[in-house]
Amino acid sequence: MIKHILAVGDSFTYGEELTDRNDSYAIQLGARLSANVVNEARPGSGNSRMIRNVISHVSQWPTDLVIIGWTSPGRQEFADADGVFDIWPGYGGNMFRNDGQTWRLELLDYINQYHDPRYIYQQYLIDVIMMQSYLKQRGIQYIMLQTVMNEYYHHTYYSGMKSLTNEIDAENFLGWPNEGMSEWTQGCRRGPNGHFLEAGHQRVTEKLYEHIRNKCWLA
C-alpha cells in the first residue's frame, strides 16, 4: 500500500502557472491514493538536484513511492560561494542579472559556446540508470517521467547510445522512449509560459494511477 510519496521535478511537476498548486499531478495522485505527498519539485531544477533530494529524503523518511519528473538533460548544476544554481545552453541569464550575480554569466557564455550535447545526454542516461538502481536496491517503488521526450538531446542522440538506453527500466519510465508529459498533454490549455494547466495535470495523474493499478501497488 502506498502511504508516503516523494515527488521531484522541475516547474511542470511543481505546478507552475496553476491557480492552486494542489492541482499539480503529484498532489492529485496523493489525494486519489489517500497518501501523504512531499513535492520537492522546483522551477528551473536540474536533474542533479532531483537525485540529491531523493537520496536525502528516502534516507530519512519512510517512502513508498518516488516520482521523478526528469527535466531537459541540458540543465547542468554548478555551485559557488552564493550557492547552487543551474544553467543550460540557450539560457540568457536573466536571473543572475536580477540577483546581481553577473559573474555567473561568464560560465554561462562558456557553456553556450563550448558544451558537448552528446556528452550531456550520455550523462543524463547514466543519472537515470544510477537512480533506478539506487531505488531498486532500497526496495522503493518508483515511477519516472520526462517533461519533454521529443526534445533536441533525446531526438538526436538516443539511437546512438544503445548500450545505455537498453539499461533504462522502461516498465517504470512512463512513455519511454517516445513520450513525455508534454506529449501526453497536447491539446490541453497552457499558461503564458507554456506549462500545461489543470486538465494537463489531470491527464498525467491518470497515467500515473493507471500504472500503479496495473502494477498492483494499491493493495
Full DSSP string of 27-88: HHHHHHHT-EEEE---TT--HHHHHHHHHHHHTTS--SEEEEEE--TT-EEEEETTEEEEE-
Residues 179-214 have pLDDT tens digits of 999 999 999 999 999 999 999 999 999 999 999 999
Domains of the chain, start order: 4-74+124-214 (3.40.50.1110), 78-114 (no CATH)
pLDDT at 150 over 80: yes
- Burial (CB < 10 A; 0-12, 13-18, 19+), residue 217, is middle
Q: Give the model's confidence band at 10: pLDDT under 50 very low, under 70 low, under 90 confident, else very high.
A: very high
Question: Which residue type is seen at 68?
Answer: I
> Stretch 52-73: mean pLDDT, rounded?
98
pTM above 0.85, yes or no: yes
Give the Cα separation of 110 and 98 in Å (integer).
Answer: 20
What is the structure's pLDDT at 130?
A: 98
Residues 75-132 have pLDDT tens digits of 999 999 999 999 999 999 999 999 999 999 999 999 999 999 999 999 999 999 999 9
146 membership: H or E segment, kind and range: strand 141-146
What is the structure's pLDDT at 104?
A: 97
What is the structure's pLDDT at 173?
A: 98
What is the structure's pLDDT at 219?
A: 72
What is the structure's pLDDT at 25?
A: 98
Give the Cα separation of 202 and 13 in Å (integer).
Answer: 12
